[in-house]
Amino acid sequence: MIAEVVAPGALLSARSLALHFGRIAALRDVDMDIWPGEVLAIVGESGSGKTTLLNVLSGTLSPDCGSVACRNAGGVVANVHSMPAPALRALHRSEWGFVQQDPRRNLRMNVSAGGNVGERLMAQGARHYGNIRAEAARWLETVEIDPSRIDDLPRTFSGGMLQRLQIARTLVTRPSLVFMDEPTGGLDVSVQARLLDLIRSLVARLHIAVVLVTHDIAVARLLADRIIVMQDGSVIETGLTDRVLDDAHHPYTQLLVSSVLTA
Amino acid sequence: MEGYNFAYLDEQTKRMIRRAILKAVAVPGHQVPFGSREMPLPYGWGTGGIQVTASILGADDTLKVIDQGADDTTNAVSIRRFFARTAGVRTTTHTAEATVIQTRHRVPETPLRQDQIIVYQVPQPEPLSRLEPSRVQTRIMHALGEYGLMHVKLYEDFARYGQVSISYDYPVMVNGRHLMAPSPIPAFDNPKLDRMPALQLFGAGREKRIYAVPPFTSVRSLDFDDHPFHAIRAPHACGLCGATDSYLDEVVADDRGRRLFVCSDTDHCAMRREAGHVGADSLPEAAE
């Protein structure tokens, strides 16, 4: 039995995570903690293990060794990979959220925008149609989608709107921790800027902790409080965003920062 | 009866089906897999119901078979004759006289008693089938009691049509735990399932599932707090017996577009007419 250890005050703590896909080491001895209300960016080039780390943290993948422990709203500490499946699913439905790069993977494309936002509420037992609809309309407004489109199907929405709809659907249950996998990937620059602005204000207002995977240093600089830099499955540098980006210690981080194009 | 085992099925098969039935009764609304046999009628005609009936039928039972409420349609007549021939049991069309009632698409209007068993023919036992195509996923959803998806469907209906668009096979929650397809009975019949004194058995032959609702078990139709479930009924009186509380069939009466609404439960209608009730459309007939 793996000891369930969460750093004092932290929401989620990972200790000495390792995972191999055959001969490829996807994660090597990764330690990390997430505290309430902070945005933690995981950066690195493709294949560095960012998404794998996200999947292990959220319980989607099991590590070869190491442990991930979380603390729920009631203060109870549990091991993410040894808790019963119903408990993990309940956690994902209520206190956690997952924002995918492709919103189509998360949304139900044949269900109206309102139904998409209301699904998590109904899964939690909300049974009052009027309240569910009012909450859905309020959230559409929050993510800057015209509430009159509440009954429209997501396939009539643009890419940026789909991503905002996904965010509304995820945040409707007021999660304390949201995992985001390249939330701005595949969007054009002006839409990206608006979306980043939205995420930043929502996260600050609702006091949500975010684990953000991105290959885009600019996104990390704009959103993140802390940064983890990964290379070949290892964490090579970690610290406050400004410190890491302005005063990179590791040669790879220096390369990463200097290779950003400035317009 | 010669040339057949009692009630057609061999004893080992009946034993296997009875085991499935016992398990189904123990977990109300839970779908129990069983080894469905080839029956001498096509899938969709009641192969599940007929196997359940065959395994619970005893020599002193009285069988009634209805199809859409009627005792005199092809499906009802042939299944009734099948058991009269292979089991030699008495058959009846009167709900009150029957001990076993096999039904397709209706629950009799006459309230059932504790000493009766009703067997439903089920084409699709999985209530989530239209929403989640994977049976692996629906089984997990049943196991964990995650039925939010069904409410998303109801939400969509209210958002698009202002009402629930399901008029038959309206999903129900059994014993506060399992979501169940009540077979394609009209939503009008759903309230009859709740706390029914008779044992209710459901057989799906093609899908190879048996499930059950034991006597006096709560069966609640899904709804929203602010949009409670209500049974839909055509706003007419039966043209033959004048009943205003029974479920009606709409029948084309002639080639000039005249339509007639009659009770779908033929036994109920006949009994009322015997008792002297008369509907608006039966007057000319009486004058003949």
B170-188 mean pLDDT: 96
pLDDT in tens, B36-94: 999 999 998 999 999 999 999 999 999 999 999 999 999 999 999 999 999 999 999 99
Q: Inter-chain contact A119–B226, Cβ cutoff 8 Å?
A: no
* Residue A202 tokens, joined: 């929502």
Predicted pLDDT of residue A262 = 62
Predicted pLDDT of residue A215 = 86
Distance CA B113, CA B269 (A): 20
Predicted pLDDT of residue A1 = 42
Nearest one of B77, B70, B75, B8 to B45, comparing CA atoms:
B75
Q: Inter-chain contact A127–B227, Cβ cutoff 8 Å?
A: no
pLDDT in tens, A65-111: 999 999 888 888 899 999 998 899 989 988 999 999 999 999 999 99
Distances from the Cα of B72 to the Cαs of A71, B67, B75, B165, in angstroms?
65, 8, 8, 30
At B288, is the pLDDT very low, low, confident or very high (cuts 50, 70, 90)?
very low
pLDDT in tens, B47-61: 999 999 999 999 999
A219-229 mean pLDDT: 92
How far apart are the CA of B161 and the nearest CA of chain A, in angstroms?
Answer: 11
Query: Judging by beta carbons within 10 Å of its beta carbon (0-12, 13-18, 19+), is residue A56 exposed, middle or buried?
Result: buried
Contacts of B80 (CB under 8 A, 6+ apart): B63, B64, B65, B71, B91
> Exposure string (b/e) for A9-38, b if CB count within 10 Å is 16 or more?
ebbbbbbebbbeeeeebbbbebebbbbeeb
Contacts of A238 (CB under 8 A, 6+ apart): A32, A226, A227, A228, A229, A244
Q: Is the pLDDT of residue A219 over 60?
A: yes
Is B3 noted as a catalytic residue in this protein? no
Any B CB within 8 A of A130 CB? yes
At A3, is the pLDDT very low, low, confident or very high (cuts 50, 70, 90)?
low
Q: Is the pLDDT of residue B191 over 80?
A: yes
At B284, is the pLDDT very low, low, confident or very high (cuts 50, 70, 90)?
low
Q: Is the pLDDT of residue B234 over 60?
A: yes
Torsion angle of the four alpha carbons B88, B94, B97, B103, in this order, in degrees rounded to the nearest 10: 70
pLDDT in tens, A168-210: 999 999 999 999 999 988 788 888 888 999 999 999 999 999 9
| Average pLDDT of chain A to the nearest whole number | 90
Nearest one of A92, A80, A70 to A13, comparing CA atoms:
A70
Q: Inter-chain contact A123–B146, Cβ cutoff 8 Å?
A: yes
Query: ipTM of the predicted structure?
Result: 0.85
More confident residue, B20 or A48: B20
Which residues of chain B lie closer than 8 angstroms to A133, CB-CB? 155, 159
Any A CB within 8 A of B159 CB? yes
Q: Which residue has the tokens 């953000």?
A: A212
Predicted pLDDT of residue B286 = 45
Q: Do residues B193 and B170 touch, judged by C-beta distance below 8 A?
A: no
Q: Is the pLDDT of residue B137 over 90?
A: yes
Torsion angle of the four alpha carbons B38, B62, B247, B201, in this order, in degrees rounded to the nearest 10: -50
| Average pLDDT of chain B to the nearest whole number | 93
Predicted pLDDT of residue A55 = 93
Please tell me what DSSP assigns to residue B96. G
* Residue B90 tokens, joined: 């008495």
Distance CA B247, CA B234 (A): 8
Give kind and range of the element (H or E) at residue B146: none
pLDDT in tens, B244-263: 999 999 999 889 989 999 99
Taking the CB of residue B61, how many other CB atoms lie within 10 A of it? Answer: 18
Give strand pairing partners of B100. Answer: B63, B117
Any B CB within 8 A of A109 CB? no
The percent of residues in chain B predicted with pLDDT above 90, rounded, is: 88
A213-231 mean pLDDT: 91
Is B269 noted as a catalytic residue in this protein? yes
Distance CA B180, CA B171 (A): 6
